[in-house]
Each structure stands twice: as C-alpha cells, then as structure tokens.
Amino acid sequence: MEVAGKTAIVTGSAVGVGRETALKLAGRGANVVVNYSRSEEEAKQTLANVEALGAKALLVRADVSRDDEVRAMVAQAIERFGGVDILINNAGITHFVDFRDLEGMTEEKWDHILAVNVKGLFFCSRAVLPEMQRRGAGCIVNIASTAGVRGVGSSIAYCASKAAVINMTMSFAHAFAPEIRVNCVAPGFIDTRWHLARKGAGDYESYRDAVAGMTPLKRACKPEDVAQVILSLVEGADMATGQTLVVDGGMTTHM
C-alpha cells in the first residue's frame, strides 16, 4: 500500500510502539489519528511530533474498550480526513500477576485485560470496516505479543488475550478479504517505560541487559524496531494476510 495521502488510526499512540508507529506513518506522508485514553500530555507530544514532520494529525481521546467511543473516533477521522485506510490496533494493558497466584488473577483484572486487548481490538476493526470496504482497500495491523505464542508474560490473562489477538487476526483476514489485509506483529520484550516503572531503574537495567544477552541479536528490542516491522506490513506486504510476525531478536526460536 502506498502510505502517502492515506489516513491511519493508531490506537494507544501516546507513547512507545504506538508513538513510533505514528511517526513513521507521518514520515511517509500519512494523515495520523493519535489516540489515547489516559496519557494526555504524552499524546499531545506525539501530535506535535507528527505535525512537525509535516503530516496532518488529529488527537482523539477514546477508550477502545468502549464501542461508542471507538465509533465516535472513527467518525471524527472520516469527517476530518475523508476516510480511513489504515488501522494499527496497538492499545493494550496488563496486570502483573504471578502465574501461580490464581486468586490474585481476579475477575476484575480478567475483565479489564480482555476488554481492552480483545474486545477493544474487535470494536476498532469493526468500526473501520465499512469505510475501508467503501474505499475498496484497507490495511489492519494488530499488535499481539510473544506471550500469546509462548504462554509466558505478565499474567495468564495477558497471555490469553494476546493469543486471542493472533487468532482474531486469522479470522479477520478471512472475513475482511479481499479488500482488506489483516496481519499481526508479536513483539517480545520491548525497552519501554512499562517495565521501568515496574522494576525500578537499577533492577530494570540488569533485567534488560539479561534479556538482550539471551537473544541471538544480542540487543533489546526498542519501540522503533517494532514500528519498523509494522510499517513493512502496511507498505510492503501486499500479498500477506492473516500472518503473525514475531519481533524478539530471535529469542523465541533460540529457546
């Protein structure tokens, strides 16, 4: 797909992978809808960075787990830019709960994770579908995790939610064809503030370096690395749909 002049919605684009993806799309000449639910100041910074690249941008606060807010976001994008061509389903959350602590994985935490990571992805994809079909083309990239492949991650519910993302990618690829391609990126560890906030600076650096040492590429994945792969699925994979591409420096195949 030629990105220049197209309109992309990037959910959860205030920070991390979402921000880097928004910037890469903007750098290719796309109009970008910057979405956030809580990180307003960071989202405004993303917006400013996108506009600094010369791209047109729209800032929309929307909780992807709420269907009404998702539909309103898509409507705003269509009103502002005339359509939607690209959807990056990046928004996601977790709760850190040891796998052995089954009682700690409460119903409330299950509901929160599944509402954002699974239902939110469904709501966003459903909302853009009619417009992409009307335009006769579209591209959706879902962000899963190696947690959905290996069953190892921040919590059992998180792993289950990301496995669902991978499965939905295949289902959507069949349901949305032939006009719309749907693919998935499954990152491993990403060097972001998410892990830093949980572990603290000293412990985090040791953890990051240990993870990097276990990968064949001997470095930790950064948000821009994942964004690069996302962009490749939008721009240069016109014959690929229903696929999941793991981005973890080779760790999954090495273990």
- Show which residues are catalytic: 158
Q: At residue 73, what is the residue type?
A: M
Q: At residue 158, what is the residue type?
A: Y
CB 33 within 8 A of CB 77: yes
Phi and psi at residue 87, in whole multiples of 5°?
-130, 125
Residue 227 and residue 89: Cα distance in Å, rounded?
12
